[in-house]
Chain A
Amino acid sequence: MERLKSIQDLDALRQQIIERRRHIRKRIRVCNGTGCHSQGAERLVDAFNRVLEERGVARDFLVVPTGCNGFCAAGPIVVIEPEEIFYQRVKADQVEAIVERSVLADEVIEELLYVDPTTGEKIVHEYEIPFFAKQERMVFKDTGSNFVRDIGDYISRGGYSALAKVLSGMSPEEVIEEVKMAGLRGRGGGGFPAGVKWESCRRAHGDIKYVMCNADEGDPGAYMDRSLLEGNPHQVLEGMIIGAYAIGAREGYIYVRFEYPMAVKNALWAIEQAKQYGLLGDNILGTSFSLDMHVNRGAGAFICGESTALMASLEGKVGEPRGKHIHTVEKGLWNRPSNLNNVETWANVPLIINNGGAWYASIGTERSKGTKIFSLVGKINNTGLVEVAMGTPLKRIIYDIGGGIPGGRRFKAVQTGGPSGGCVPDRMIDLPVDFEKLKEAGSMMGSGGMIVMDEETCMVDVARYFLNFLVEESCGKCIPCRVGVKRMHELVVGMCEGRAQPGDIEKLEELCYTIRETALCGLGKSAPNPVLSTLKYFRDEYEAHVHEKRCPAKICKPLIRYVIDTDKCTGCGLCRRRCPENAIIGAKKECHCIDEEVCVRCGICIETCKFKAIYIE
């Protein structure tokens, strides 16, 4: 590929690609996002290619391994374009039939269709499924149809046209003005206005400046950054190149956690391609603007998502944060002006440039503009990635898009913001979700994880879970976080294990306020959030643990017993044989019982019993 030397070259290339693909009759989209990939999507791609090859029609149809489709609960997913026929849970041995009936012919295979759980109806087209129909996908729109390893696919869809627009007549100040007008706020958690940050970095003194992308995504349960970077890396890259132009940076870094090998690979590969096409490197699109880009892997520390710790780790130091009194836009990486934004923040930029800041600002709420991608996970029917306009009510996300709670159980709370966030209880289900409203509710936006919890989730256990996470992830630099969070953890573990004393809840609260005031960085300052928000809305559960030594959700092992219902037990003996501890006794055909002393409450017997005769007390 010869480097593109001008904006006209890019336009011509786009026309060429479209022309070259005109003969393709159907596109077969096979989702290769992480969820589908882990269930064997790669085998599907191979199978489709093989079958098309065998039939001698490989030229007429295109198999597209795409980025994450977002509807992970339905994976592995195959969508056939142009009709957009949606097949779910596809297995490799069904590929032959799909090719035969839906690719070569125009039949729809009923068994593979999605069934709407509320109406029981089968739905043929992707755009009709409520999960998609009720979203407002902008940033994540193309990921599920993007041919990940083909920059041509991105370009044919109008990719890099925002960069072309910027380089063909916008001054850096105009670019910044547009992003400011859009009201784009950082998607990595803090919600700081991106345009303002860019402006400070542009104005900062220094010849060498850096743009950086935060793809550390340490929040357990969030995977939108990963899916964007894996599935549509050029969109992120285009945003960064535009940002670098606006700031005056000549070098950029993408910091990806090593646990995301596919994101690392795809980012590296996208950079390589962009360089070949003259969209990165020296004299981008024939202009005087040049930019170099690197990918660095993080080594699995939550704190390295924090801006100053991230930069320390890039320099080859231990990933400890520093106080924020010196801003990274002035003295960041190697003490030079550095502008760090989150993956999703960068992915918004091309949209803003293409459609204008005013258009962008018309979406969302007064102070939170645009859309947000959430990862809807936990006790929810439609697990997946969901993009909605800021201000969308929680109810719409959980019920209309998410399809509600499995097993007809009751919705209890949703946890947002990861280890720095908190829980929003069921009675606030109408809350419009944006930066401000989540904060008012005692939680925060964070990176966009939404973990849904039902009546069988213990809120004290959830607090214990996050504290345990934070104890492990605290870098140890400041005492409030290193020691304080540990003490909090001990107190909450005590509650879960029935050792709590009266007054422990108050002690816990006092620790929360002290740590919030005194910790060095965002990790410590926000560490009390998971406890404070559960205390605020579910204090009764804490009290039950402390005063009655009872776990209302029946989760905390030391506070529960497994019991056999004498009316239901048939004495079949299955649980007795399966029990790894030999804790179940009873003669054949007679009611069994569990030796509480020996039982470790592992759950095998409940899962095994065909008569639902074992319950928790």
Chain B
Amino acid sequence: MSDGHRRAQAAIQAILRLTNLLMAGKRVAVIGDEPELAARLRAMGAQTLLADPAAALRGHRVLAEDEAVALADLVVGATEAHLPFLRDGAILIPAAPPARPSGTGEPHETDGEPPTGPPARPSGTDGEPPAGPSGTGGGPSGTGGVFAGLPGVRVRDGITGYRLGPGREVFVLDMSC
């Protein structure tokens, strides 16, 4: 069996197990070249949003990447570049971090006890989305690449919430859970 099919099923299993949500009717932006995943999601009833014009012939909706991300309930393959566009409540599956030499950079630790007090906001953002956090230290949790430097709040097992500004909170899935 092709690796794409294996990855597609594994990703769908992880998303649905971590969130307990329904795939049918979700707007899902699929970033990157994952045709098997996009096809499976579409077959499960998701409204898939892809940037590749040829995807229209396979029943996906074609949109520029920022527009797709701005509409999406779920972004598969999210990166730092998408942060300014995300809607409140969006759920992110980070792009797999690029392979790095071992022993460098620990991921931002967000698991464990919830912090006391209200979740911290990224400093200097008042209504504006953050200007893209600095640092690209991705890690095994898969969240560091997108949100290195932003304080996350544990939501439930495998889900971390991030406040991007007033009334805008997004959720990152830890696909290794």
Tell whether A and B belong to one assembly.
no
